[in-house]
Structure formats: structure tokens, C-alpha cells
Amino acid sequence: MNARITLALVVLAAAPLVGRADDKGGAAGTGCLSNFTYSKEFLAKYPKAPSACREVQVKDGQRWARFEANVISHKSEQVTADFIGNFGDKLATLTFTAAQDAVLQVGDKTEKFSELQRGDTLSFWVPESRAGMYAQPGVLNTGKLSVISTGSQER
């Protein structure tokens, strides 16, 4: 009898979490579904992006969505990376440039663009009001990642 009561309490306690999983750390990250509106231009270029959003942060009154990409090559002033969905699936391959001294988030540390290496998982940010990708939230004037090539999107 005690095991049944314990099981019932666990099920009741977990029930509210199931309904919120899609918006609070589940498949689309914290606040990605209800707290962020993508620009039409961004969605036209990256229609699968909402399923890859990791979180939303507010910086200087503007919302920014965070995404991740795995660096697959770094040649000269260009980095090629796989845009990663929340389930580890490759959504697109992007080649981009940035200022060599631009600072990007790689895991729990920061690295200069010039120091990125194959295998690094970097974070990049998209502001709600624009279609661009940036190294950090709140840096519209610096830290822009200029996408120069977009590979085909995967299923």
C-alpha cells in the first residue's frame, strides 16, 4: 500500500511539469516558444531555427535567442559549423566570418574567433528585431557573425 501511495504522489507531482516541458527547458529551451518572436527574414533563411533555440535572454530591453553550432573547420578568416537542433541533429551548415578579436562562448569559456578549432561547440545569438547572428547578446555594433554560405538543411 505504501508503494502505491508513493507512486501516486510522484505521478501527481510530475504532472504539471509534463505540460510545461516544451517551454521550460524541453525540446525548445527556456522561453523559446512563448517569449521570442523571430523576424520574417530570419525564419525565411532558417525555418527550423525555433526547434534549435536553447534559451532566451533579455539584454538592454531586447530579447535574444541562443543557438549552438559545432565547428567543423576553421580556415583563414572563415569558420564552418553545423547548426545543431536540440536533439543533436544537424539542421544546416553555415560558413561565417567575424572580426578576429570577436569573443564567442565555447562551452563554459570564451574564445576569440581566431582561436576556434574543429570540435568546438559555440553559442551564437539572434536578436528578436533582426535576422543577424551575433557572438554575444547585446552587441549589435560589434560581434556580428557574417554568414557567407549556408549549406542545405537536414531532416
30 assigned to some structural domain? yes
**Which portions of the chain are predicted below pLDDT 50?**
3-27, 153-155
pLDDT tens per residue, range 107-125 = 889 999 899 999 999 999 9
pTM of the predicted structure, to 2 decimals: 0.74
pLDDT tens per residue, range 40-52 = 998 898 888 888 8
112 assigned to some structural domain? yes
155 assigned to some structural domain? no
What CA–CA distances, in Å, run from 61 to 17, 57, 80, 129? 29, 10, 31, 11
pLDDT at position 30 is 66
Structural domain including 6 reads: 2-150
Q: Based on the structure, what is the number of domains in the chain?
A: 1
